[in-house]
Amino acid sequence: MKRDSRLSSVLHALLHMAEHDQPMTSETLAQCMTTNPVVVRRTMGLLREAGIVASARGPSGGWTITADLETLTLRDLHNALGEPAVFAIGNRNETPDCLVEQAVNAALHDAFAQAEALLLDHFAQITLATLARDFARRHAARRQTTPHPQE
């Protein structure tokens, strides 16, 4: 099953952007994430529509964060990406005539709905600021264990 990694991707991009004062170009972000600039534009474009980032063209252009990291949550990003399907498991036929299949679908639907609600609630409680601090903590820990890294 191929997984949608856009949420992971935009998080990665946003945290890098948060550390930069200047706008970052699609090209730079694409290198960070070992992907293609066009893919970056496409995905970041969705965040722009949601008012989370802004883009500027021309020299010294690129992407900047406009949202407040203290209030921006993973849930916001998930929504901005169009609330993609959370589960890789689903019903064979969503609107079956067969009563047996209807009973099966109903049971699975409940289970999936509960799990999705939990996941999205969890997402709503994680802000980008929290993640940025988590990264800072990891960064400090690494500097401690490897005193002279080549950065």
Partner DNA sequence: CCGAATCGTAATAAATGAAGTTACATGAAA
Partner DNA sequence: TTTCATGTAACTTCATTTATTACGATTCGG
Distance CA 117, CA 87 (A): 12
Q: In the chain, what's the furthest Cα-to-Cα distance?
A: 67
Among a second copy, DNA, none, what binds residue 56 when CB lies within 5 to 8 Å by partner kind? DNA
Checking 129-134 for CB contacts under 8 A at 24+ apart, the result is 129/69, 129/70, 129/72, 131/11, 131/15, 132/15, 132/18, 132/69
If binding is defined by CB under 7 A, does position 149 make contact with DNA? no
Nearer to a second copy by Cβ, of 11 and 69: the residue is 11
Among DNA, a second copy, none, what binds residue 103 when CB lies within 5 to 8 Å by partner kind? a second copy
129: CB partners within 8 A, 6+ apart? 69, 70, 72
Q: 58, 140, 147, 150: which one contacts DNA (CB under 7 A)? A: 58
If binding is defined by CB under 8 A, does position 148 make contact with a second copy? no
Listed residue (19, 52, 56, 14) closest to 33, CA to CA: 14
Site for a second copy in 72-131 (CB under 8 A): 74, 84-93, 98-108, 110-112, 114-116, 118-119, 122-123, 126, 130-131
Nearer to DNA by Cβ, of 31 and 71: the residue is 31
Structure-token match 């964060």, residue found: 65
Shortest distance (Å) from residue 58 CB to a second copy: 27
Check: CB of residue 44 under 8 Å from CB of residue 12.
no
Q: 13, 14, 17, 44: which one contacts DNA (CB under 7 A)? A: 44
Distance CA 69, CA 129 (A): 5
If binding is defined by CB under 7 A, does position 147 make contact with DNA? no
Which positions touch DNA (CB under 7 A)? Answer: 1-6, 23-27, 34-39, 41-42, 44-45, 48, 55-63, 84
